[in-house]
């Protein structure tokens, strides 16, 4: 019975990790679209109708963003959770969820700024 419970627990953890990874990829794609729409709409010469630049920004960009930044968000979230639990487990376990939420939110703001700057660099390379 012990082995069956461990397998069930591992399967549940794998399902949970899959959901978290999917959500991280969705977040990175939304960040990419927000950054790209702002950059694309502000640059007059960049937003030609018949150009390959929109294809790069709105088709290839989200795919790349989901793969690269989605994995960064996923693994950073796991690292934030493990580190916070490690440091606060013995002394103040009741504040662990609050600290994880605050640190992860700050990380998401930082990753949004990173994606925005990456999109600006891509715009300058394509220009």
The per-residue pLDDT for range 31-83, each reduced to its tens digit, is 998 988 888 777 766 656 567 777 777 888 899 999 999 999 999 999 999 99
* Total domains in the fold of the chain: 1
Q: What is the mean pLDDT of residues 75-104?
A: 93
Give the tokens for residue 92.
């103040």
What is the pLDDT at residue 81? Answer: 93
Closest to 120 in 3D by CA, of 51, 34, 36: 36
Please give the residue range of the domain that contains residue 12.
Answer: 2-126
Q: What is the pLDDT of residue 49?
A: 59
> What separation in angstroms does the CA of 80 have from each of 12, 74, 75, 83, 107?
21, 10, 9, 5, 9
| pTM of the entire predicted model | 0.83
């Amino acid at each position: 019975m012990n082995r069956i419970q461990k397998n069930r627990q591992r399967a549940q953890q794998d399902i949970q990790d899959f959901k978290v990874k999917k959500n991280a990829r969705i977040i990175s794609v939304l960040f990419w679209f927000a950054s790209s729409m702002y950059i694309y709409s502000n640059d007059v010469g960049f937003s030609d109708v018949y150009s390959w630049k929109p294809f790069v920004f709105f088709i290839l960009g989200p795919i790349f963003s989901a793969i690269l930044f989605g994995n960064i968000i996923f693994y950073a979230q796991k690292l934030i959770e493990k580190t916070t639990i490690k440091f606060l487990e013995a002394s103040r376990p009741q504040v662990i969820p609050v600290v994880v939420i605050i640190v992860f939110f700050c990380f998401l703001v930082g990753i949004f700024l990173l994606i925005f700057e990456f999109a600006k660099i891509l715009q300058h390379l394509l220009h």
